[in-house]
Structure 1
């Protein structure tokens, strides 16, 4: 267990509490979806525990679970950067955060506890104190912290020839912009300066210039946060009422997020302080306007980055965001660099393809307890969480992703009930022994309904509502789950130095119920125990320098049900042409029929066949730790080693399509994780006026796939046709002995041929991939295009015919180092966040290299006079060996558009050269605060006034060439991390804050 104070959370000055935890606890990894306003963040503790299920840590607020879903109906490779529901928590209402990482610490939270638990305790009033008022305000400015380097030298076109917007040309392999000029035509709709012509053209009137579309588009973001709280109490109880308001304008024009929080909590002690009531209720309302991203022709960054530097997306206007002349032509059609086709102008996207959502959420707890005696306290805790999430995606007529217009309404209605009944107590058994116990029952019930309505074809422009569409199709989904449990724990202590804790829990899990079969409780239950022991050896030692020393050991098991409801049966679905694998078509083109069809309903089997024999999965965890503190706490060391194995995983696997299905649910597969953590605390200086405190959190883990289902060697997690994230089964020799295991979530894609044979100079596709071997260079045929044996790949690396593991997104280790220096009323803290290792597929760079837009293509070799590869003046030689005889390669080749339009770019058959290291060294957080002296406040109603300055992500050093490598295309909902493809960039921010108390 590791603690993060509420003050540390507030000082981070983030909209999301999850982002505030980055670098502040060992074993905790936070990944932001993007720097867009309202974007989600993924939080994982000690690696993965599930193939198909949720791997994010469970969030518990004031003793009960809180839903943290992202609820992504559409494919995560496109769409928008959604919020997950932890965004609804007001960071200023948090008193403390406990990070529970071991299964022994999380066993009592049930099947979800195996993922680790983030326990949040909110602020309460204080008994015996009068009214206290606290108000704080923060203003934040944000800017893009990292983008891909683009070329600004070459114009739109191909083969060194200019092709303007009216041609529909998508590439930027045209002539140098500094060799061109504007002709001054005032009737040219694509540029107020006129058409581009050669400088020697008689119509040339002014030199051409490159447009910086990226810098001209992004803006400075702004966030205002106001929080007001009233608290107090008397001898019988306490209360706290809080109000919060956050308004965020993103670095993307018209991307907004706002949130309103209201919280009420109270505690009362009655009947001579034997009966206790604790209650809290919170309301959160959030709304946002988001923009399209990712693999999406209406994606903002896709259209922005692909735009040639010879075309001005803003059309020379002072306010292109709000002036339709930047993105529409006089006839009302779209104005973009491809003459209205292909990819949307980014100003069109922010105005004509908005995504709106509104969340209304209420969650709270009620706890009643009666102290019969020190040995018996009966308590009941009931928590509820309910929200509606109403979303609308709009596409105006003329949008690249929906030429006829489209409106999508996506509505979620969620609620859960989390109820506990406990009998607990304890005390000394004798002068040597003590005992504490807890007996309890838990009921957890969850309900989620989704209504997805897709309207295609607007009848007339400008009115983007379902009432104005031609065809409507709907999908109504209901997901209900319930878990009932009994649990018990016993803590035994001996002479204040030896402690033993035993727990057991039995869950009955509804997701294991088989439809149409008589319910047998023995078929849906799972019993799992845990045991932990700690030995405080410092109690037995007389060593003055050692303040505290403890050795701890633990063993724990946590059961698990199916990762989703209704996997024990085969369901029916309504076929839709928009659902691809569910659709009814002719097998060649996607022009099938939707149901209901002409008033007739139609259903087909879900392509996933269920299993009526699913068994609970089981996660077993072993942990050992040492906690040392010296010199009265001036130096501390907490070291942990753990090993975790998750077996009998429930996963979905591909099956032979002759069965009539595409996928099947099975009990199979296992994951194992081993890792270590070190938390170091040090106070180098402590005096009357000055204190310097250092805390370092180091963590390292590796999660391996030990087994997949029989006959299955990989499991798709996320990605694209050529490049994706997969779990791969272990490699074995002829005797079935495992020779290699793969970490969770590898990047699988196209590779070049690398020498992998014993002689070190040849390639065998049947042998394992050797990325460190020399490239195999194609020297067959002739580079002469007029020769009978012409080979356009002559002198270039050969492509591997087999998809290979070309990258590993998982880090080698994480390290967070926080320093806090306090001098009288001044406080300065700064957090360094280090990630070593891990890789990401830079698909954005790959695609833009194909289009001739990256800085990688700026130093391009020109074609010869016949517009063919110029081998005579070529200067590049690939380091490798010749395929014919294994000798060192000495063939010079041009790196021209032909190379980049093939395997040198992102749309060829090879992806490995766009997989890049994502290590980083980051100055995560800097906070400077000053607390006004009390004598300055003596004659005012104020009891405290603090001013603060905060900087976040101020410095970032990384070899990664894309956006901030901490961002993720697939957001928080997917286990397939390690992909970049036109997602929104990350941000750095600067904030000023004021906190006053009355």
Structure 2
């Protein structure tokens, strides 16, 4: 049973009547008699307040008139009001109950609501998720909220992740959620944030926000919660609230951790020079060529080079945060500074962030207040070349890292040249720098009780610069003479926002509650970019810092674009006796991105919640603390398609006449005045159930989403001068269930809480419009009737063996097929293997279900938490494996090559070695990527207060933590959490040359004064 917190207020009498003002003093304690610091005592109706000290004591001036009321507040507990009629010297004793889960306040679109009044599907991310060693807060969503799928696109420090809330809605449009940071909406598009010069993974724009600054994260999932964001709500909304100051709680805190990282695992490739030499000779023999190595040379070969061991390292990670929070009766402040540095597990890769934040709120009167939220950051990252991981796997073990002169080996000496990946990592400059300022200022005025107007202005400014320099003494610089090639790219983006809202709250007859929000917002975005490059430098010393000293110039490029969005919004919440709750919301958006006849879109929603537990017929069921039914329906949109796509545009071209070069322009797009929104209609039914005085809490949702008017490039007649045009065609559906369970297993001196989330989503392409049945992109296909993220290729059914009648069996090329070659399934039964008729679906990247479970335990001054996350049923196309099993003898091979087909080893799995095979997309390379991962485990200890008091500290905590400690999976690649094509929905689930993930071990310290 939940324990009650007893607050015993010992009220002394007055000290004197002459010149000293009378005071009320007291102490705050819990049920065990332990005093509690940090509770707030407010004299109701005034600006007077007091905060309990380290011993739980407080003192507050008493008013001249009796009676008066004191309000006692402490986060996690219900507020209690104490009426004081006279100062008798006798203590007043008050019992504070632990806060009811229904009374917890969560942030929603353009306001806040008690959980008990919410009609939509809203999930809160546990604070524990933000305490992991992560470069950006979006990584904290992994396994922390039901219905949220987070895919790591790269293990590169600071790299982006891809997030899907209740599945992907769009094929070519954006699928990432909208982030609202202290009221400022941000869409996290890698294309918008990076200048496009560095040959590596995109650095996440959201990593500019320090995770330690975040107070809460709310995920809005259904249309009732997201429709108020209209054209940007189809993919869900993530609301970020940063930490604010609290009156009377002036606190200085230093948080730090330091640790080390290592690669999760290595891919099993040949590291024995002798084994690879035998493979080389075998491939040449099967190609009708003489051996490359003599037996004497093979016998003389050493162990060989383990290129992965040469590249991977033990890498440090550290974080330092200094924050100051507090305030008085009129002003609250929160100021923080942060330094974060993460070295990558690959040589010469890193991520470094300096950031600062100021949040300030000021009450000028009881009716008027203003506030400022401002963050600034600088990010510097050295990223790995996109091809370097592939080179690490493909470089033969017979090649040394260094030549006889101690210099880096230039390349492999075989028919397929490969650059030395260690030289690439160490010598190539692949740097990105990002400066960002994000903030807003607001004013809020209460006209009459319950009627509040709010005006805010904000801006988001990003300056990104990317530098690349490739010296000529590494393989990538081979075409430059005499030395090096350099490029510099810049991208400057700015967004401004103005929001104007009016809200009204009123309770009538203590039974009818009304809350209304209306508003008008306007937002505009503008970006400029430029790229310049040159090569053939006299020296490497200047790198990218003097492009003019290169003797060969590349054609520069530049561009700019802009968009604007004007909106009207409104929401009405109406509650009857806290039993029946109705919500109606809507938004009208006018976007510059769409055709002249489709600029405006309208996005309504409606929801109903029934607090069944408040009905009389359940009053005798003491087991049920809360039972609520939720129903919602609504429409949201998607505008993430880029700029000017509804307009006819021209593209510059180079022409040659009479030996002269001329620049001209030609049409590259036709106008589409009817280009409109992708529209997502969503229906949700949910149940919230709490048992045994809220010790067991269930949240269950079932939903259906259908997205229509997909933005697709549709083939058009060539008489138009173009091959395709962006049009509204096709539809996609998502449907699924979500379950969240939170339990308090033990309370008291020993506590144990568990949080479990589970979700299932089924995605399907319904139509692609105009008779189209599929869209193929590499190994991926979007096909009617099938989910997005499907893989397309040949089904394999073993190998041809000696004695098989190959001439009469279905093959891709009967003339060249021999024993040891791969067999494929003849899908249509016509006796031959063709692309058009025999390629089929061979897997899908979407999980059948996913989930996470967090356990938090504490005893005395110790606390322990451990978090498991996993997915089941998702596949990956292992393109690394595809390349490593070509067995050409020109590059390295998977360790499976040791079991390759030979006349004396007639295996039915690994084909024979051959110098020039074709890379075929087959089911052999589609692997089960299901996994269960111990994502984080942390053990902490709070030093006794007597020790902390010796340095005048209120709290000292030390802890040790490990991230990604254990992973259970059948996947043979580096990491089952991967997607080469970053945020793409059409081409998801491809693993090729992706920077591998890492595990970390660290120790931390937190001191508060």
Distance 2:623 2:752 in 1: 20
Distance 1:858 1:173 in 2: 21
Cα deviations by residue, 1:410-437 (Å, 9 ceiling, x for unpaired): 2111111122111111211334322110
- Write the mapping of 1:499-898 to structure 2, written as runs, cut at 5 A: 499-514=581-596, 523-540=598-615, 541-542=618-619, 543-561=621-639, 563-575=641-653, 600-606=662-668, 608-655=669-716, 659-686=720-747, 688-716=748-776, 723-728=778-783, 730=784, 741-752=785-796, 779-781=805-807, 792=818, 796-798=822-824, 800-802=833-835, 803-850=839-886, 851-862=891-902, 870=903, 873-877=904-908, 895-898=911-914
Distance 1:777 1:798 in 2: 18
Rate the CA distance shift 1:173–1:12 in 2: closer, same or farther, 3 A. farther
User: Contact 2:806 / 2:818 at 8 angstroms: preserved in 1?
Assistant: no
Give the 3-state SS of the residue equivalent to 1:347 in structure 2. helix
Q: Identify the residue that residue 977 of structure 2 maps to in structure 1.
A: 966
Distance 1:216 1:86 in 2: 32
- Write the mapping of 1:982-993 to structure 2, written as runs, cut at 5 A: 982-993=993-1004
**What displacement does 1:970 show?**
1.8
Q: Identify the residue that residue 866 of structure 1 maps to in structure 2.
A: none
**What displacement does 1:249 show?**
1.3
Cα deviations by residue, 1:489-533 (Å, 9 ceiling, x for unpaired): 11111111110011121111111144xxxxx6xx41112211011
Query: Structure 1: where are the runs of 5+ without partners?
Result: 181-196, 294-298, 317-323, 329-334, 515-519, 577-583, 585-592, 731-740, 755-772, 863-869, 879-893
TM-score (norm 2): 0.80
User: Contact 1:285 / 1:359 at 8 angstroms: preserved in 2?
Assistant: yes
Q: Identify the residue that residue 573 of structure 2 maps to in structure 1.
A: 491
**What displacement does 1:744 show?**
1.3
**What displacement does 1:301 show?**
1.5
Q: Identify the residue that residue 453 of structure 1 maps to in structure 2.
A: 532
Distance 1:137 1:30 in 2: 26
Within the candidate set 345, 367, 386, 1:274 is matched to 367
Cα deviations by residue, 1:880-927 (Å, 9 ceiling, x for unpaired): xxxxxxxxxxxxxx94313x953xxxx433422111111001111111
Rate the CA distance shift 1:485–1:840 in 2: closer, same or farther, 3 A. same
Q: Identify the residue that residue 397 of structure 1 maps to in structure 2.
A: 472
Cα deviations by residue, 1:637-658 (Å, 9 ceiling, x for unpaired): 1100000111112222344656
Distance 1:613 1:985 in 2: 44
Distance 1:877 1:156 in 2: 21
**What displacement does 1:71 show?**
2.2
Query: Structure 2: where are the runs of 5+ without partners?
Result: 1-120, 826-832
Give the 3-state SS of the residue equivalent to 1:846 in structure 2. helix
Rate the CA distance shift 1:501–1:600 in 2: closer, same or farther, 3 A. same
Give the 3-state SS of the residue equivalent to 2:608 in structure 1. strand
- Write the mapping of 1:98-109 to structure 2, written as runs, cut at 5 A: 98-109=218-229
**What displacement does 1:10 show?**
3.6
User: Contact 2:343 / 2:350 at 8 angstroms: preserved in 1?
Assistant: yes
Distance 1:495 1:776 in 2: 82
The yes-or-no answer on 1:373 pairing with 2:492 is: no
Distance 1:173 1:955 in 2: 47
Distance 2:433 2:401 in 1: 31
Distance 1:352 1:340 in 2: 25
Give the 3-state SS of the residue equivalent to 1:115 in structure 2. coil
Distance 2:125 2:195 in 1: 37
Distance 1:901 1:682 in 2: 60
Rate the CA distance shift 1:660–1:89 in 2: closer, same or farther, 3 A. same
Q: Identify the residue that residue 327 of structure 1 maps to in structure 2.
A: 408
Distance 1:16 1:251 in 2: 18
**What displacement does 1:861 show?**
4.4
**What displacement does 1:22 show?**
1.1
Rate the CA distance shift 1:360–1:790 in 2: closer, same or farther, 3 A. closer
Distance 1:288 1:402 in 2: 22
User: Contact 2:820 / 2:911 at 8 angstroms: preserved in 1?
Assistant: no
Give the 3-state SS of the residue equivalent to 2:664 in structure 1. coil
**What displacement does 1:973 show?**
5.8
Within the candidate set 416, 420, 429, 1:345 is matched to 420
User: How large is the RMSD of aligned CA atoms in angstroms?
Assistant: 3.3
User: Contact 1:776 / 1:797 at 8 angstroms: preserved in 2?
Assistant: no
Give the length in aligned residue pairs. Answer: 860
Rate the CA distance shift 1:597–1:472 in 2: closer, same or farther, 3 A. farther
Q: Which deviates the most, 403-412 or 2-11?
A: 2-11
Give the 3-state SS of the residue equivalent to 1:325 in structure 2. coil
- Write the mapping of 1:151-190 to structure 2, written as runs, cut at 5 A: 151-153=270-272, 155=274
User: Contact 1:156 / 1:172 at 8 angstroms: preserved in 2?
Assistant: no
Distance 2:586 2:171 in 1: 25
The yes-or-no answer on 1:80 pairing with 2:80 is: no
Distance 2:644 2:968 in 1: 46
Cα deviations by residue, 1:938-968 (Å, 9 ceiling, x for unpaired): 3321111111111111111111111101022
User: Contact 2:229 / 2:587 at 8 angstroms: preserved in 1?
Assistant: no
**What displacement does 1:223 show?**
1.2
User: Contact 1:811 / 1:838 at 8 angstroms: preserved in 2?
Assistant: yes
User: Contact 1:404 / 1:458 at 8 angstroms: preserved in 2?
Assistant: no
Distance 2:981 2:963 in 1: 23
Give the 3-state SS of the residue equivalent to 1:511 in structure 2. coil
User: Contact 1:313 / 1:336 at 8 angstroms: preserved in 2?
Assistant: no
Q: Identify the residue that residue 415 of structure 1 maps to in structure 2.
A: 494
Give the 3-state SS of the residue equivalent to 1:86 in structure 2. helix
Rate the CA distance shift 1:367–1:435 in 2: closer, same or farther, 3 A. same
Q: Identify the residue that residue 252 of structure 1 maps to in structure 2.
A: 346
**What displacement does 1:710 show?**
0.8
Give the 3-state SS of the residue equivalent to 2:884 in structure 1. helix
Rate the CA distance shift 1:663–1:352 in 2: closer, same or farther, 3 A. farther
Rate the CA distance shift 1:812–1:70 in 2: closer, same or farther, 3 A. same
**What displacement does 1:210 show?**
2.6
Q: Identify the residue that residue 306 of structure 1 maps to in structure 2.
A: 394
Q: Which deviates the most, 453-462 or 615-624?
A: 453-462
Cα deviations by residue, 1:796-845 (Å, 9 ceiling, x for unpaired): 51474123222210110101011111111111111111100111111101
Distance 2:697 2:184 in 1: 32
Within the candidate set 232, 240, 256, 2:326 is matched to 232
Distance 2:609 2:279 in 1: 73
TM-score (norm 1): 0.81
Rate the CA distance shift 1:138–1:80 in 2: closer, same or farther, 3 A. same
Distance 2:218 2:381 in 1: 30
User: Contact 2:680 / 2:708 at 8 angstroms: preserved in 1?
Assistant: yes
Give the 3-state SS of the residue equivalent to 2:318 in structure 1. strand
Give the 3-state SS of the residue equivalent to 2:212 in structure 1. helix
Distance 2:579 2:705 in 1: 27
Within the candidate set 466, 473, 482, 2:564 is matched to 482
Give the 3-state SS of the residue equivalent to 1:937 in structure 2. helix
